[in-house]
Amino acid sequence: MTQTADRLTTLEIRSAEQEKTIEELSSQLVEQWKVIDRLQKKLDALTERFLTLEGQTAPGHEITKPPHW
């Protein structure tokens, strides 16, 4: 009976350790998604800003021949 009790104890310990590991990984995943969301918002804002500035500074130039042609 001792061998069965030892095996059961070992399995319970493994299960507890795995549960702890899963919780740690889950919390890390949540933190990484928060970082990804923040970075995506910054990227969107920078893209919008770039497009706005590009629109302001790049008037539609007509392609013409230089005067010496």
pLDDT recorded at residue 64: 74
The tens digit of pLDDT for each residue in 28-69 reads 999 999 999 999 999 999 999 999 988 888 666 666 777 776
Q: What is the 3-state secondary structure (H, E, C) of 21-37?
A: HHHHHHHHHHHHHHHHH
Please tell me the pTM assigned to this model: 0.63
pLDDT recorded at residue 41: 98
Place of tokens 């702890």: 20
